[in-house]
Protein backbone atom coordinates (compact mmCIF):
# COMPACT_ATOMS: atom_id res chain seq x y z
CA UNK A 1 0.00 0.00 0.00
CA UNK A 2 1.29 3.47 -0.86
CA UNK A 3 1.37 6.11 1.87
CA UNK A 4 1.88 9.84 1.53
CA UNK A 5 0.77 13.21 2.74
CA UNK A 6 -1.94 14.94 0.69
CA UNK A 7 -2.30 18.71 0.80
CA UNK A 8 -5.68 20.39 0.47
CA UNK A 9 -5.27 24.07 -0.36
CA UNK A 10 -7.96 26.62 0.38
CA UNK A 11 -9.21 28.39 -2.73
CA UNK A 12 -9.14 32.12 -2.07
CA UNK A 13 -12.69 33.49 -2.01
CA UNK A 14 -14.03 36.35 -4.18
CA UNK A 15 -14.15 38.77 -1.20
CA UNK A 16 -10.45 38.53 -0.28
CA UNK A 17 -9.67 41.89 1.33
CA UNK A 18 -7.48 43.59 3.93
CA UNK A 19 -9.54 44.60 6.96
CA UNK A 20 -7.01 44.43 9.80
CA UNK A 21 -9.18 41.93 11.64
CA UNK A 22 -6.49 39.88 13.38
CA UNK A 23 -5.05 41.57 16.46
CA UNK A 24 -1.68 39.90 17.12
CA UNK A 25 -1.09 39.14 13.42
CA UNK A 26 1.23 41.95 12.37
CA UNK A 27 0.75 41.57 8.60
CA UNK A 28 -3.04 41.74 8.93
CA UNK A 29 -2.73 44.87 11.04
CA UNK A 30 -0.19 46.60 8.83
CA UNK A 31 -2.07 46.01 5.57
CA UNK A 32 -5.48 47.09 6.88
CA UNK A 33 -7.29 49.41 4.41
CA UNK A 34 -4.98 48.60 1.50
CA UNK A 35 -6.77 47.52 -1.69
CA UNK A 36 -6.65 43.79 -2.36
CA UNK A 37 -6.67 41.83 -5.62
CA UNK A 38 -8.87 38.72 -5.15
CA UNK A 39 -8.19 37.48 -8.68
CA UNK A 40 -4.41 37.62 -8.23
CA UNK A 41 -4.72 36.07 -4.76
CA UNK A 42 -6.69 33.10 -6.08
CA UNK A 43 -4.29 32.62 -8.98
CA UNK A 44 -1.21 32.78 -6.75
CA UNK A 45 -2.70 30.07 -4.53
CA UNK A 46 -3.64 27.88 -7.48
CA UNK A 47 -0.18 28.23 -9.01
CA UNK A 48 1.51 27.12 -5.80
CA UNK A 49 -0.88 24.16 -5.43
CA UNK A 50 -0.38 23.10 -9.05
CA UNK A 51 3.41 23.25 -8.71
CA UNK A 52 3.18 20.75 -5.84
CA UNK A 53 0.93 18.48 -7.92
CA UNK A 54 3.51 18.72 -10.72
CA UNK A 55 6.24 17.68 -8.25
CA UNK A 56 4.30 14.42 -7.85
CA UNK A 57 2.56 15.24 -4.58
CA UNK A 58 -1.12 14.52 -3.95
CA UNK A 59 -2.85 17.87 -4.07
CA UNK A 60 -6.50 18.79 -3.56
CA UNK A 61 -8.49 21.98 -3.07
CA UNK A 62 -11.04 23.10 -0.49
CA UNK A 63 -13.87 25.46 -1.42
CA UNK A 64 -14.10 28.97 0.04
CA UNK A 65 -17.07 30.12 2.16
CA UNK A 66 -20.14 32.19 1.38
CA UNK A 67 -19.23 35.83 2.00
CA UNK A 68 -20.48 38.37 2.80
CA UNK A 69 -22.24 36.24 5.39
CA UNK A 70 -25.69 37.83 5.24
CA UNK A 71 -27.15 35.10 7.46
CA UNK A 72 -24.91 36.17 10.35
CA UNK A 73 -25.72 39.84 9.69
CA UNK A 74 -29.42 38.95 10.01
CA UNK A 75 -28.69 37.19 13.32
CA UNK A 76 -27.16 40.48 14.41
CA UNK A 77 -30.38 42.38 13.78
CA UNK A 78 -29.99 43.76 10.25
CA UNK A 79 -33.06 43.13 8.14
CA UNK A 80 -34.85 43.61 4.84
CA UNK A 81 -33.54 42.48 1.47
CA UNK A 82 -29.95 41.26 1.20
CA UNK A 83 -28.99 44.64 -0.26
CA UNK A 84 -30.64 46.42 2.69
CA UNK A 85 -28.90 44.17 5.20
CA UNK A 86 -25.52 45.02 3.65
CA UNK A 87 -26.32 48.73 3.53
CA UNK A 88 -27.50 48.90 7.15
CA UNK A 89 -24.44 47.01 8.36
CA UNK A 90 -22.12 49.29 6.34
CA UNK A 91 -23.68 52.39 7.88
CA UNK A 92 -24.34 51.26 11.44
CA UNK A 93 -21.58 48.73 12.13
CA UNK A 94 -18.91 48.59 9.39
CA UNK A 95 -16.67 46.42 11.58
CA UNK A 96 -19.37 43.72 11.63
CA UNK A 97 -19.71 43.88 7.87
CA UNK A 98 -15.94 43.45 7.51
CA UNK A 99 -15.96 40.46 9.85
CA UNK A 100 -18.80 38.92 7.85
CA UNK A 101 -17.05 39.55 4.51
CA UNK A 102 -13.60 38.10 5.22
CA UNK A 103 -12.27 35.38 2.91
CA UNK A 104 -10.24 33.99 5.83
CA UNK A 105 -11.31 30.37 5.21
CA UNK A 106 -8.54 30.34 2.56
CA UNK A 107 -6.07 29.52 5.38
CA UNK A 108 -7.09 25.90 5.63
CA UNK A 109 -4.33 25.05 8.10
CA UNK A 110 -6.89 26.52 10.49
CA UNK A 111 -9.81 24.52 9.12
CA UNK A 112 -9.35 21.46 11.32
CA UNK A 113 -7.00 19.16 13.19
CA UNK A 114 -6.49 15.89 11.36
CA UNK A 115 -5.12 12.64 12.80
CA UNK A 116 -4.19 9.92 10.32
CA UNK A 117 -5.45 6.36 10.67
CA UNK A 118 -2.04 5.05 11.77
CA UNK A 119 -2.37 7.06 15.01
CA UNK A 120 -6.00 6.47 15.98
CA UNK A 121 -7.40 3.49 17.89
CA UNK A 122 -10.20 2.80 15.39
CA UNK A 123 -7.96 3.02 12.32
CA UNK A 124 -9.92 5.94 10.81
CA UNK A 125 -8.73 9.41 9.85
CA UNK A 126 -10.21 11.84 12.38
CA UNK A 127 -11.21 15.46 11.67
CA UNK A 128 -12.19 18.15 14.17
CA UNK A 129 -13.03 21.52 12.61
CA UNK A 130 -11.40 24.33 14.58
CA UNK A 131 -13.75 26.64 16.50
CA UNK A 132 -11.49 29.68 15.85
CA UNK A 133 -13.17 31.58 18.69
CA UNK A 134 -10.41 34.12 19.19
CA UNK A 135 -11.42 36.15 16.12
CA UNK A 136 -15.02 37.01 15.29
CA UNK A 137 -14.51 36.75 11.51
CA UNK A 138 -12.92 33.32 11.86
CA UNK A 139 -15.47 32.02 14.38
CA UNK A 140 -18.05 32.09 11.56
CA UNK A 141 -16.18 29.42 9.57
CA UNK A 142 -16.71 26.08 11.41
CA UNK A 143 -20.25 25.06 10.24
CA UNK A 144 -19.40 25.41 6.53
CA UNK A 145 -15.91 23.95 7.08
CA UNK A 146 -17.59 20.87 8.56
CA UNK A 147 -19.91 20.64 5.52
CA UNK A 148 -16.97 20.89 3.12
CA UNK A 149 -14.90 18.26 4.93
CA UNK A 150 -17.86 15.87 5.10
CA UNK A 151 -18.55 16.38 1.39
CA UNK A 152 -14.96 15.39 0.56
CA UNK A 153 -14.18 12.76 3.21
CA UNK A 154 -17.64 11.21 3.14
CA UNK A 155 -16.92 7.51 3.49
CA UNK A 156 -17.49 6.62 7.14
CA UNK A 157 -15.51 3.39 6.82
CA UNK A 158 -12.37 5.54 6.62
CA UNK A 159 -13.21 8.99 8.01
CA UNK A 160 -14.56 10.15 11.39
CA UNK A 161 -15.85 13.71 11.82
CA UNK A 162 -16.20 15.43 15.20
CA UNK A 163 -18.03 18.60 16.07
CA UNK A 164 -15.93 21.71 16.67
CA UNK A 165 -15.16 22.18 20.39
CA UNK A 166 -17.62 24.37 22.34
CA UNK A 167 -17.19 28.00 21.29
CA UNK A 168 -15.57 29.46 24.40
CA UNK A 169 -12.18 31.08 24.89
CA UNK A 170 -11.18 28.38 27.41
CA UNK A 171 -11.35 25.92 24.51
CA UNK A 172 -9.89 28.15 21.80
CA UNK A 173 -8.79 25.89 18.95
CA UNK A 174 -6.95 26.97 15.77
CA UNK A 175 -6.68 23.58 14.09
CA UNK A 176 -3.61 22.22 12.34
CA UNK A 177 -1.75 25.54 12.65
CA UNK A 178 -0.83 24.36 16.15
CA UNK A 179 -0.43 20.69 15.38
CA UNK A 180 2.44 18.80 13.73
CA UNK A 181 3.00 15.10 13.34
CA UNK A 182 6.36 13.34 13.30
CA UNK A 183 6.76 9.77 12.06
CA UNK A 184 9.22 7.57 10.22
CA UNK A 185 6.85 6.65 7.37
CA UNK A 186 3.40 8.24 6.98
CA UNK A 187 1.62 4.94 7.68
CA UNK A 188 3.63 4.22 10.86
CA UNK A 189 2.16 5.38 14.17
CA UNK A 190 3.58 8.83 14.75
CA UNK A 191 3.92 11.39 17.51
CA UNK A 192 1.40 14.23 17.30
CA UNK A 193 2.74 17.50 18.66
CA UNK A 194 0.07 19.83 20.04
CA UNK A 195 1.42 23.33 20.60
CA UNK A 196 -0.75 25.63 22.70
CA UNK A 197 -0.49 29.29 23.67
CA UNK A 198 -1.78 29.06 27.22
CA UNK A 199 -3.35 26.71 29.73
CA UNK A 200 -6.47 28.05 31.42
CA UNK A 201 -6.37 25.52 34.25
CA UNK A 202 -2.64 25.38 34.96
CA UNK A 203 -1.74 28.29 37.25
CA UNK A 204 1.93 27.93 36.27
CA UNK A 205 1.28 28.40 32.56
CA UNK A 206 2.73 31.78 31.52
CA UNK A 207 0.68 34.09 29.31
CA UNK A 208 1.64 36.55 26.59
CA UNK A 209 1.21 40.13 27.78
CA UNK A 210 0.37 41.99 24.60
CA UNK A 211 -1.32 39.66 22.12
CA UNK A 212 -3.79 36.81 22.61
CA UNK A 213 -2.83 33.15 22.94
CA UNK A 214 -5.35 31.66 20.53
CA UNK A 215 -4.95 27.96 21.39
CA UNK A 216 -5.44 26.50 24.86
CA UNK A 217 -3.97 23.30 26.28
CA UNK A 218 -7.50 22.28 27.25
CA UNK A 219 -8.58 22.42 23.58
CA UNK A 220 -5.54 20.45 22.42
CA UNK A 221 -6.12 17.77 25.08
CA UNK A 222 -9.79 17.44 24.07
CA UNK A 223 -8.78 16.87 20.46
CA UNK A 224 -6.25 14.20 21.40
CA UNK A 225 -9.04 12.44 23.35
CA UNK A 226 -11.58 12.78 20.54
CA UNK A 227 -9.12 11.40 18.01
CA UNK A 228 -8.40 8.41 20.26
CA UNK A 229 -4.65 8.97 20.31
CA UNK A 230 -2.25 7.07 22.57
CA UNK A 231 -0.67 9.07 25.37
CA UNK A 232 2.70 7.82 24.13
CA UNK A 233 1.87 9.25 20.72
CA UNK A 234 1.27 12.81 21.92
CA UNK A 235 3.44 15.65 23.16
CA UNK A 236 1.88 18.90 24.42
CA UNK A 237 4.22 21.87 24.19
CA UNK A 238 3.55 25.45 25.24
CA UNK A 239 4.52 28.19 22.81
CA UNK A 240 6.99 30.71 24.17
CA UNK A 241 4.66 33.57 25.24
CA UNK A 242 7.37 36.15 24.52
CA UNK A 243 7.23 35.34 20.80
CA UNK A 244 3.43 35.43 20.65
CA UNK A 245 3.94 39.04 21.74
CA UNK A 246 6.25 39.52 18.74
CA UNK A 247 3.63 38.37 16.24
CA UNK A 248 3.90 34.56 16.32
CA UNK A 249 0.14 34.06 16.60
CA UNK A 250 0.20 30.39 15.50
CA UNK A 251 2.90 27.76 16.02
CA UNK A 252 3.16 27.27 12.24
CA UNK A 253 4.70 30.75 12.07
CA UNK A 254 7.73 29.45 14.00
CA UNK A 255 7.97 25.66 13.44
CA UNK A 256 7.15 23.04 10.83
CA UNK A 257 7.53 19.26 10.91
CA UNK A 258 7.41 16.43 8.40
CA UNK A 259 8.20 12.74 8.91
CA UNK A 260 11.32 12.66 11.10
CA UNK A 261 12.26 16.34 10.73
CA UNK A 262 11.26 19.24 12.96
CA UNK A 263 12.42 22.63 11.68
CA UNK A 264 11.97 25.33 14.31
CA UNK A 265 13.34 28.51 15.81
CA UNK A 266 15.29 28.24 19.05
CA UNK A 267 12.81 30.56 20.79
CA UNK A 268 9.71 28.69 19.59
CA UNK A 269 8.87 26.71 22.71
CA UNK A 270 8.53 27.25 26.45
CA UNK A 271 10.58 24.79 28.50
CA UNK A 272 12.15 23.74 25.23
CA UNK A 273 14.88 21.35 26.43
CA UNK A 274 12.50 19.28 28.54
CA UNK A 275 9.89 19.09 25.79
CA UNK A 276 12.40 18.20 23.06
CA UNK A 277 13.74 15.43 25.31
CA UNK A 278 10.18 14.07 25.68
CA UNK A 279 9.80 14.23 21.92
CA UNK A 280 13.06 12.36 21.40
CA UNK A 281 11.98 9.68 23.87
CA UNK A 282 8.57 9.19 22.22
CA UNK A 283 9.73 9.25 18.61
CA UNK A 284 11.14 5.94 17.53
CA UNK A 285 14.07 5.92 15.14
CA UNK A 286 16.12 8.72 13.72
CA UNK A 287 14.95 12.27 14.45
CA UNK A 288 16.32 15.47 12.89
CA UNK A 289 15.77 18.49 15.08
CA UNK A 290 16.82 21.50 12.99
CA UNK A 291 16.92 24.39 15.45
CA UNK A 292 17.51 27.81 13.91
CA UNK A 293 19.45 30.12 16.24
CA UNK A 294 18.42 33.74 16.84
CA UNK A 295 21.83 34.96 15.69
CA UNK A 296 21.09 33.52 12.22
CA UNK A 297 17.42 34.50 11.98
CA UNK A 298 15.71 36.88 14.41
CA UNK A 299 12.07 36.42 15.44
CA UNK A 300 11.30 39.61 13.54
CA UNK A 301 12.82 38.23 10.31
CA UNK A 302 10.97 34.94 10.83
CA UNK A 303 7.65 36.80 11.26
CA UNK A 304 8.26 39.13 8.31
CA UNK A 305 9.36 36.41 5.87
CA UNK A 306 7.44 33.37 7.19
CA UNK A 307 10.58 31.21 7.04
CA UNK A 308 8.79 28.61 9.20
CA UNK A 309 5.45 28.89 7.42
CA UNK A 310 7.10 26.94 4.66
CA UNK A 311 5.67 23.58 3.68
CA UNK A 312 8.14 20.82 4.41
CA UNK A 313 7.28 18.04 1.97
CA UNK A 314 8.71 14.68 0.97
CA UNK A 315 9.12 14.42 -2.79
CA UNK A 316 8.37 11.10 -4.53
CA UNK A 317 12.15 10.43 -4.85
CA UNK A 318 12.41 10.62 -1.03
CA UNK A 319 14.17 13.99 -0.67
CA UNK A 320 12.55 16.73 1.37
CA UNK A 321 11.84 20.19 -0.01
CA UNK A 322 10.80 23.46 1.56
CA UNK A 323 8.02 25.35 -0.21
CA UNK A 324 8.79 28.92 0.78
CA UNK A 325 7.30 32.35 0.08
CA UNK A 326 9.40 34.62 -2.17
CA UNK A 327 9.59 36.94 0.85
CA UNK A 328 12.25 34.54 2.25
CA UNK A 329 14.42 35.01 -0.84
CA UNK A 330 14.05 38.80 -0.62
CA UNK A 331 15.45 39.00 2.93
CA UNK A 332 19.28 38.67 2.75
CA UNK A 333 19.65 37.12 6.22
CA UNK A 334 16.93 34.55 5.70
CA UNK A 335 18.16 33.76 2.18
CA UNK A 336 21.70 33.28 3.52
CA UNK A 337 20.36 30.92 6.18
CA UNK A 338 18.38 28.91 3.61
CA UNK A 339 21.39 28.69 1.28
CA UNK A 340 23.42 27.38 4.19
CA UNK A 341 20.68 24.93 5.20
CA UNK A 342 21.06 23.17 1.86
CA UNK A 343 24.73 22.52 2.62
CA UNK A 344 24.01 20.98 6.03
CA UNK A 345 23.59 17.27 6.47
CA UNK A 346 19.78 17.24 6.82
CA UNK A 347 17.02 15.59 4.74
CA UNK A 348 16.06 19.04 3.32
CA UNK A 349 17.69 19.18 -0.12
CA UNK A 350 15.56 21.62 -2.15
CA UNK A 351 13.88 24.99 -1.68
CA UNK A 352 11.17 26.25 -4.02
CA UNK A 353 9.98 29.85 -3.76
CA UNK A 354 6.42 30.99 -4.55
CA UNK A 355 4.84 34.41 -4.73
CA UNK A 356 1.82 34.26 -2.40
CA UNK A 357 2.02 37.93 -1.42
CA UNK A 358 -1.72 38.57 -1.58
CA UNK A 359 -2.12 36.00 1.21
CA UNK A 360 1.09 37.03 3.03
CA UNK A 361 -0.27 40.56 3.44
CA UNK A 362 -2.96 39.10 5.67
CA UNK A 363 -0.47 36.91 7.56
CA UNK A 364 -0.91 33.68 5.60
CA UNK A 365 2.07 31.91 4.01
CA UNK A 366 2.32 28.67 1.99
CA UNK A 367 1.71 26.43 5.02
CA UNK A 368 -1.35 28.43 6.16
CA UNK A 369 -2.93 27.82 2.77
CA UNK A 370 -3.00 24.04 3.12
CA UNK A 371 -4.57 21.35 5.27
CA UNK A 372 -2.52 18.20 5.25
CA UNK A 373 -3.87 14.71 5.51
CA UNK A 374 -1.48 11.77 5.75
CA UNK A 375 -3.19 8.85 4.05
CA UNK A 376 -2.78 5.71 1.99
CA UNK A 377 -4.03 4.93 -1.50
CA UNK A 378 -7.14 3.08 -0.26
CA UNK A 379 -8.16 6.14 1.76
CA UNK A 380 -7.35 8.44 -1.16
CA UNK A 381 -9.58 6.35 -3.43
CA UNK A 382 -12.42 6.84 -0.90
CA UNK A 383 -12.45 10.66 -1.07
CA UNK A 384 -14.38 12.84 -3.51
CA UNK A 385 -12.01 12.63 -6.51
CA UNK A 386 -13.29 15.88 -8.06
CA UNK A 387 -11.26 18.00 -5.61
CA UNK A 388 -7.90 16.54 -6.71
CA UNK A 389 -5.90 19.06 -8.69
CA UNK A 390 -5.35 17.66 -12.18
CA UNK A 391 -4.26 19.67 -15.25
CA UNK A 392 -7.91 19.83 -16.23
CA UNK A 393 -9.18 21.06 -12.87
CA UNK A 394 -6.35 23.61 -12.70
CA UNK A 395 -7.35 25.07 -16.03
CA UNK A 396 -11.08 25.05 -15.13
CA UNK A 397 -10.40 26.78 -11.81
CA UNK A 398 -8.25 29.46 -13.46
CA UNK A 399 -11.05 30.20 -15.92
CA UNK A 400 -13.58 30.19 -13.10
CA UNK A 401 -11.48 32.77 -11.24
CA UNK A 402 -11.09 34.92 -14.36
CA UNK A 403 -14.84 34.93 -14.94
CA UNK A 404 -16.00 35.63 -11.39
CA UNK A 405 -13.29 37.48 -9.46
CA UNK A 406 -12.59 41.20 -9.27
CA UNK A 407 -9.05 42.53 -9.42
CA UNK A 408 -9.55 45.20 -6.77
CA UNK A 409 -11.49 45.38 -3.52
CA UNK A 410 -11.60 48.06 -0.83
CA UNK A 411 -13.79 48.30 2.28
CA UNK A 412 -16.54 50.26 0.51
CA UNK A 413 -17.03 47.41 -2.00
CA UNK A 414 -18.08 44.97 0.72
CA UNK A 415 -21.56 46.57 0.90
CA UNK A 416 -22.04 46.31 -2.88
CA UNK A 417 -24.98 43.89 -3.39
CA UNK A 418 -23.46 42.98 -6.73
CA UNK A 419 -20.40 41.52 -4.95
CA UNK A 420 -22.70 39.21 -2.98
CA UNK A 421 -24.38 38.03 -6.19
CA UNK A 422 -21.02 37.54 -7.91
CA UNK A 423 -19.72 35.58 -4.96
CA UNK A 424 -22.80 33.34 -4.74
CA UNK A 425 -22.86 32.60 -8.43
CA UNK A 426 -19.12 31.73 -8.34
CA UNK A 427 -19.64 29.38 -5.40
CA UNK A 428 -22.71 27.78 -6.93
CA UNK A 429 -20.70 26.96 -10.03
CA UNK A 430 -17.79 25.71 -7.92
CA UNK A 431 -19.94 23.26 -5.96
CA UNK A 432 -20.98 21.73 -9.29
CA UNK A 433 -17.40 21.66 -10.57
CA UNK A 434 -16.17 19.92 -7.39
CA UNK A 435 -19.37 17.87 -6.90
CA UNK A 436 -19.77 19.09 -3.33
CA UNK A 437 -23.57 19.19 -3.15
CA UNK A 438 -25.33 21.99 -1.25
CA UNK A 439 -22.77 23.07 1.32
CA UNK A 440 -23.65 26.78 1.60
CA UNK A 441 -26.54 28.41 3.48
CA UNK A 442 -27.69 30.19 0.28
CA UNK A 443 -28.10 26.80 -1.39
CA UNK A 444 -30.35 25.41 1.33
Least distance between ligand SUG and beta carbon 24 (Å): 8
| Binding residue for ligand SUG, selected from 59, 104, 105, 239, defined by CB under 6 A | 104
Q: Does 153 bind ligand SUG (CB under 6 A)?
A: no
CA distance 70 to 77: 11
Query: What residues contact 349, with CB distance under 8 A and at least 6 apart?
Result: 319, 320, 321, 342
Least distance between ligand SUG and beta carbon 396 (Å): 27
Q: Does 112 bind ligand SUG (CB under 6 A)?
A: no
Q: Does 177 bind ligand SUG (CB under 6 A)?
A: yes
Stretch that binds ligand SUG, among 160-168, 245-253, 272-280, 332-340 (CB under 6 A): 245-253
Q: Does 227 bind ligand SUG (CB under 6 A)?
A: no
Catalytic, out of 5, 66, 174, 192: 174
| Binding residue for ligand SUG, selected from 268, 363, 366, 389, defined by CB under 6 A | 363
Least distance between ligand SUG and beta carbon 214 (Å): 8
CB 14 within 8 A of CB 405: yes
Q: Does 362 bind ligand SUG (CB under 6 A)?
A: yes
CB 42 within 8 A of CB 11: yes
Q: Does 312 bind ligand SUG (CB under 6 A)?
A: no
Q: Does 337 bind ligand SUG (CB under 6 A)?
A: no
Sign of CA dihedral 395, 397, 400, 405: negative
Q: Does 238 bind ligand SUG (CB under 6 A)?
A: no
Helices (H) and strands (E) in the chain, counts: 17, 15
Torsion angle, alpha carbons of 31, 34, 37, 41, to 10 = 0
Q: By rule CB under 6 A, what string of x and - marks binding of each residue 124-143 to ligand SUG?
A: -----------x--x-----
Q: Does the annotation count 174 as an active-site position? A: yes
Least distance between ligand SUG and beta carbon 148 (Å): 17
Q: Cα separations (Å) of 58 from 43, 168, 177, 298? A: 19, 35, 20, 33
- Give how many residues touch ligand SUG by CB under 6 A: 22
DSSP string, 207-270: --SSS----BHHHHHHHHHHTTB-GGGEEEEEB-HHHHTTT--SGGGTEEEETTEEEEETTSBT
| Binding residue for ligand SUG, selected from 9, 187, 218, 252, defined by CB under 6 A | 252
Total Cβ atoms within 10 A of residue 402:
12
CB 6 within 8 A of CB 58: yes
Q: Does 265 bind ligand SUG (CB under 6 A)?
A: no
Q: Does 28 bind ligand SUG (CB under 6 A)?
A: yes
Q: Does 19 bind ligand SUG (CB under 6 A)?
A: yes
Torsion angle, alpha carbons of 351, 354, 360, 363, to 10 = -40
List residues with catalytic annotation: 174, 250, 368
Which residues here bind ligand SUG, judged by CB under 6 A? 18-22, 25, 28, 102, 104, 107, 109-110, 135, 138, 177, 250, 252-253, 362-364, 368
Amino acid sequence: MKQFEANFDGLVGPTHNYAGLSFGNVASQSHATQPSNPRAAAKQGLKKAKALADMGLVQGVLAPQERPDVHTLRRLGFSGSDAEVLQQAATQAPALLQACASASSMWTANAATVSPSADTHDGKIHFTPANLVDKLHRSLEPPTTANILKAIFADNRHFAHHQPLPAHANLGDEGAANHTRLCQAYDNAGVEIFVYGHSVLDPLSPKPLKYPARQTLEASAAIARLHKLDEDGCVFIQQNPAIIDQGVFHNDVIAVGNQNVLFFHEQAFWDSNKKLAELRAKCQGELHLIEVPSHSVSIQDAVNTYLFNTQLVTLPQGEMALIAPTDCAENPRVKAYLDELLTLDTPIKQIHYFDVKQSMHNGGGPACLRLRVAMNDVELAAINQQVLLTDELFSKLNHWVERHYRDRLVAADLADPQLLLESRSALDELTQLLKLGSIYPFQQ
